[in-house]
Structure 1
């Protein structure tokens, strides 16, 4: 994340209070933002603003920075809630907030950051920005509901189409589509309708890469626990593809293990399942699928950016988007 965005976030968030309990609350609000993060979404938004003609140091640029701060606040409150919903252990290389301070305090901190997100949107003063944030929240919540419902109900009879619908809602809107659109709005420009199909494909590729990294990445650079998706019983393209052709006994053992609560899962069985997935070819299949989605998304994005005011910055957007779909960390 750009340092100036963290500065704007800190400008919004309260810092000190004479009452110790509220001083603790303020520290919770700053915890996830202070942990950093790549800032991919805010960077995409700012590049989109520049590509559409916003000059740095202008009042429009300041508005774009506030929108970038708002999307970072969105990311942080959603991650707090997501970690609670998934009962995750880690976030950005440290214990998840609810692991450090308990579920009620973490949930309340996430709620408060949600409110500060809207304060940042208001500071931006960009017409149409509130509608974009509402769209982003609605679609992300729908995707999260699908994801959580499948886990809660034990549903594994799912197709690739089901998975893609979920990730296009849960990931694509806040990772690609809305940042691109917000950048255009900051420039006073009508966003290209091609941002949606481009973002849906790129968002799917981004999420599939994340699913792969969760099984293969080096723990030191990933920032989340390796194999956490298996412990949480996440439905991924990898597991769905593997289940469709796995030996019956492996299927039985897998489904039995996935039906157990996270805290009761057998580490040795999880390790065996991870070996089955790695040996099956399903991870390679997911990588190829991500490559195809990424190529489709980049093609649509090139078309969307064909006539923007700053072609040089459009090339940077394409480079960043390509990094989304080829990332290894």
Structure 2
């Protein structure tokens, strides 16, 4: 490795995933920064980033360097301060990838609470209806609805959560009554776009033996709003119901699904105290928030 200045530039590009974003952080011209990155790669004889119109993505070698660079960054902060870092505060940037149901209905209040307790901490939530690629450092950690079985990853179950069929009061009042699952076949269904279901755990309607979806989206937040507008009947997270007034459970005594959230991290982060402490706070807060919201549903 060249020096701390090289690491500082590398960290900025890795975290911002673009020269322009890193340039704003470092107050450097993107062209100059690009030359510095190219010079660093040449000095190491290693490609650190995959460049594309979407930005700069870490290669496997870049991901390995990122781990070492973050360790060096923490050591530099301690050297500058001249003291041991406090054990009760966190700082720096942490990016979380999450499916949009979790990102929309759980993480805003959870991250607000953690951020209030740690004002020097920057938390980014990337809400995407797909599986995150941690090997490419799309996020520091990710929340998923199924546990991966491949890759060098740390996987921790966060909590179980529950889902029910639901519809708006207005829809139920203007359509035939629903007294059994057989009655569902005469109603319009709201759900996922079939070919955009990225995890088998999300194929709720198939589990219930229900067919064509009349109105669909790849976002559960959009589906919840469709139900609120009286579009039909769909499966919703219990923890989302407090956010969609006028929508209530259908056949709660007959249809109840259970799923789980998992926290996924890089195996190399096991020794990173900052990320480990954040992960502990995040999992505890999500568990508590699921319990609180499900009780209100």
Higher helix proportion = 1
Structure ID, larger Rg? 2
Higher strand proportion = 2
Shorter chain as normaliser: what TM range? 0.3 to 0.5
How high is the TM-score relative to the length of structure 1?
0.32
